[in-house]
Structure 1
Amino acid sequence: MYALILGDVNANDEIDEYKVSDNGDRNKILATVINIIGIHLNKYPKRSIYFTGNTLVRTRLYRMVITLNFEELSKNLIIYSQTDNGFVPFKKNIHTKGFLIKRKL
């Protein structure tokens, strides 16, 4: 399992998970991240990717993006939501702490 960290690179070449750039390209960036996850899992189909937001608002944003693209994503990927009871198959509108994505084999 690999952890995915999302953030901006600061002046020290470190990832800043808390910075809010707000430069209008959020949807493009998240679409690119989803595409990269798919590419990685195509190359390494037995691996999985875990990620979460560093705030409840960001985790909710990621859930909304997955919900909007779920039909397309679920053609090749298995997506789980991390809940208080462990990982369950992704469903929209459930409280989610994080996400685990695997390639369908």
Structure 2
Amino acid sequence: MITGSTASGTRLYRLIISNNYEMISREYNAWGYWGGGWCPFEKNVNYAAFLVSKLL
């Protein structure tokens, strides 16, 4: 689980995941915490936290 200590830190994590999503998604599932629950990661959504797990 990843979250920034500030809003700009969390935004930076979102940008890093977004810019590398194609490579990340080959081996990992990426989720974002939004609206009280975890949802599959989508670019340009302001998540509060991120969860990345290895594909089985």
Q: Smaller-chain TM-score range?
A: over 0.9
Max Rg structure: 1
| Pairing 1:13-52 to 2, within 5 Å after superposition | 50-52=1-3
Question: How many residue pairs are counted as aligned between the two chains?
Answer: 56
Task: Find runs of 4+ consecutive structure 1 residues off by over 4 angstroms.
Answer: none
Greater RCO (CA < 8 Å, at least 6 residues apart): 2
* Structure 2: stretches of 5+ with no match in the other structure: none
Q: TM-score, structure 2 length as denominator?
A: 0.95
- In the TM superposition, residue 84 of structure 1 has moved relative to its aligned partner by 1.9
Q: 2:36 aligns with which of 72, 85, 88?
A: 85
Quick one: distance in 1 between partners of 2:44 and 2:38? 15
* Structure 1: stretches of 5+ with no match in the other structure: 1-49
RMSD over aligned Cα, in angstroms?
Answer: 0.7
Quick check: which one's strand share is greater?
Answer: 2
- In the TM superposition, residue 74 of structure 1 has moved relative to its aligned partner by 0.2
